[in-house]
Amino acid sequence: MTQLINVAETAEHQRLIAEVECIFSKAEPHLRRLIRMQGISAECADDVIQETMLEAWRGFERLRDPHRVAAWLDGICRNICRRHHRAQEALEREVSLTASHNAGADAIAFEDIADPDAFDPAEELNRQDMAVLLDRALGYLGGDMRATVEVCYLEDLPQKEAAARLGLTISALEARLHRARRQLRQILSGDLRADAEAFGLIFSPEEATGWRETREWCIFCGNRRMWGTFDAMPNGRVSLIMRCPDCTRGDFYFMNSLGLIDLRGRNAFRPALKQTTEAFASFYTNAMQHGSEAICWICGGAIQISVAQISRLLEQQPDLKTWIQWTCACGQNHSWSLIACANHPEITNFLLHYDHCRFESDTIVTFQNQPAVRLCLSERGGRRLSVFLHPETLTVLATIVE
């Protein structure tokens, strides 16, 4: 019996390793963008990526939730970028007296800087809303904090450039950013509370109950902002549910996280939607493209996943055909096909740069002499992203920006 248990545990361990290897193999483009945003030079990027993967492997046993490997890798990569900057500063020995003074004045615990639940306007607001709200808040900040917010959030400079302009080391800049975010939270929950609430920011858990209008536009009709709620589940987790007042009907939702990740403590819809979308994309990628056995995170049973051709799930999209269909002991559910490839770099960049996007069409076409699903995303200025997917696995074959 013990031998059988050991064999089963070994098989499960090998399955998890195979899943992580698949994610590792696809993570490099995203990590390169992340490294560039951290101000690391292109010639050093390979070393940082290699060190990230090595550290991830060493700490693999400590990963509690395999579906959060992507976020886990991002955290490791950011930490290594910080170490790289500190090593470079030590080697170059070119820290100015001003930078040294600021580093001492601004130094705080690393655990505080890395707090994943800390308020971050770039995470909780889209670019347009952030620019308007921070412009109103700047008058409440001191000179150093105001300059930091302007450079890092409004001008969106990479950390290395922002630090150079402000005469700071990278670690000092991160410390000052932490203090700026803390002050912004106090300002937006105090004197500018009405303005913050108008942009969908909620700082009190007691107020984050029931259905509320979000700042996120419906990706299907493009005409209405979605409504959302954080719903308590029987297993103690909290699920994100979002729907469009015009498009969706019955019990169909734009998003229902169904407890895939635990969102307890979340008040803001934007970071919760981002976190949920990334988790779903990783889950479906592993299950559909790599033949991994999917396990329902609600009932624990095996899930059967396939690409389904279903019409009229949405009032505004009668010709929408391609959906992900999954069945288990809990019942049958559907997810929109774009979510399976939401972590693809081109799609992520398009949605990041254009807050008001619409899912235009979904058609079966011939691409490179084989059938493909063609998805189209468009933004109000006229730019369009076409995504070609494999009709059975929804693997991205190509993307074209027009």
**pLDDT greater than 60 at residue 115:** no
Residue 398 resides in a domain = no
Half-sphere exposure of 177 (CA within 13 A, CB side): 25
Tally the domains of the chain: 1
Residue 293 resides in a domain = no
Dist CA 191 CA 181 (whole Å) = 15
Task: Enter the pTM of the model.
Answer: 0.60
Both tokens of 339, joined, read: 């979510």
Under the banding of pLDDT at 50, 70 and 90, the label for residue 311 is low
Cβ–Cβ < 8 Å for 334, 308: yes
Residue 135 resides in a domain = yes
Alpha helices by DSSP H, listed for 167-249, are: 170-188, 193-198
Residue 40 resides in a domain = yes
pLDDT tens figures, 171-193: 888 888 888 888 888 888 888 88
Least confident of 115-124, 149-158, 197-206: 115-124
Residue 80 resides in a domain = yes
Residue 110 resides in a domain = yes
Dist CA 114 CA 88 (whole Å) = 21
Q: Is the dihedral of CA 37, 42, 44, 49 positive or negative?
A: positive
pLDDT of residue 1: 41
pLDDT of residue 185: 85
Residue 114 resides in a domain = yes
**pLDDT greater than 70 at residue 390:** yes
pLDDT tens figures, 344-376: 888 888 887 777 888 877 888 888 888 888 988
Under the banding of pLDDT at 50, 70 and 90, the label for residue 388 is very high
Residue 93: domain span: 26-198
pLDDT of residue 245: 86
Under the banding of pLDDT at 50, 70 and 90, the label for residue 90 is low
Dist CA 371 CA 392 (whole Å) = 10
Dist CA 308 CA 315 (whole Å) = 18
**pLDDT greater than 70 at residue 240:** yes
pLDDT tens figures, 314-323: 555 545 577 7
As a whole number, the mean pLDDT across the chain is: 75
Q: Which long-range contacts (CB under 8 A, 24 or more apart) does 365-369 make?
A: 367/397, 367/398, 368/397, 368/398
**Cα 303 to chain center, whole Å?**
24
Alpha helices by DSSP H, listed for 93-139, are: 97-106, 110-113, 121-124, 127-137
Could you identify the residue written with the tokens 């008058």?
A: 139
pLDDT of residue 304: 79
Higher-confidence residue of 249 and 151: namely 151
pLDDT of residue 108: 46
pLDDT tens figures, 42-78: 767 888 888 888 887 777 666 656 556 677 777 788 8
DSSP string, 135-151: HHHGGGS-HHHHHHHII
CB-based contacts of 304: which residues, under 8 Å, 6+ apart? Answer: 326, 327, 328
Cβ–Cβ < 8 Å for 263, 287: no
Query: DSSP code of 218?
Result: P
Mean pLDDT over 203-226 rounds to 79
Residues listed for the chain: 402
Could you give the dihedral angle defined by the CA atoms of residues 95, 96, 97 and 100, in that order, rounded to the nearest 10 degrees? -40
pLDDT of residue 285: 78
Start-to-end Cα distance in the chain = 61
- The packing angle between helices 170-188 and 127-137, to 10°, is 80
* Helix, strand, coil tally for the chain in percent (to 5): 50, 20, 30
Residue 218 resides in a domain = no
Residue 10 CB: number of other CB atoms within 10 A? 10
Both tokens of 386, joined, read: 């076409």
Mean pLDDT over 136-163 rounds to 86
Under the banding of pLDDT at 50, 70 and 90, the label for residue 112 is very low
Under the banding of pLDDT at 50, 70 and 90, the label for residue 8 is very low
Dist CA 392 CA 311 (whole Å) = 17
Under the banding of pLDDT at 50, 70 and 90, the label for residue 204 is low
